[in-house]
Amino acid sequence: MNGRMDGKVVAVIGGGSGIGLRLAEQVVALGGRVVLGGRTAEPLDAAVARLGEAATARVVDAEDQGSVAGFFAGVAHLDHLFTPGSAYAYGRIDEISDAVAESPFRSKFWGQYWAVKHALPKLARDGSIVLMSGAASVRPLAGAAAYAACNAAVEGLGRALALELAPIRVNVVSPGTVDSDLWRRRPAAQREAAFAGYAGLAALGRVGAVDEVADAALFLMGNGFMTGSTLYADGGYALR
């Protein structure tokens, strides 16, 4: 990456908090502009107030293709797309409903697929797309088969789109457990148990930081020779 994003426009679906917001902050600091999308207006408004005139935002429901299409209809031009936003549940195949099992696919897979589809007419030919999967794609969690399968599907989608959409570059960032706003909103005991469990499985012995995953996504945007790759920002969790 050349270290600057002067004049570049980046859409971030899931840009109101966490990894998406941190990536947006980095883009703005490097001279770019961001268009943020998310499920609720309040965090988006707060993000725009924080980022200033280089940011705009609008509500988008990633599970509704019409909403995704409407979000991108209001965008004139894009250089990069980043899609970290999703909401889902998971559990054992013999304990959860079909709706819970389908939820990662509705939000995380189809939400990103539709974002690419509707961003594409606005995307520069020398631009890029960074999808978001998760390290459970290659090291599944016990009791989360559909969730693991969804992450693997996102990574397969990234490889296929890299061929289909070239010269637009398509890559995937695949984090492990990250100390993010999402976890900070959960009960402390649940969070601490999850973090300790992950630390015991990751080579680096800890969970990730929001900055570390945002840095990985920014690298994939800026490196003009990276396409069809999945970058595991997971502290070595995916290693067996």
- The structural domains of the chain, ordered by start, are 9-231 (3.40.50.720)
Question: Is pLDDT at 90 greater than 90 in this prediction?
Answer: no
Query: How far is the CA of 4 from the CAs of 26, 138, 151, 176, in angstroms?
Result: 10, 33, 31, 28
* Mean pLDDT, range 38-58, rounded to an integer: 97
Instruction: Give me the percent of the chain exceeding a pLDDT of 90.
Output: 86
Two tokens, residue 9:
């426009």
Angstrom distance (rounded) from CA 168 to CA 21: 23
- The pLDDT value given to residue 130: 98
Secondary structure letter of residue 35 according to DSSP: E
3-state SS assignment for residue 54: helix
The band of 194, judged by pLDDT with boundaries at 50, 70 and 90, is confident
Angstrom distance (rounded) from CA 226 to CA 192: 36
Question: pLDDT per residue over 129-168, tens digit each?
Answer: 999 999 999 999 888 899 999 999 999 999 999 999 999 9
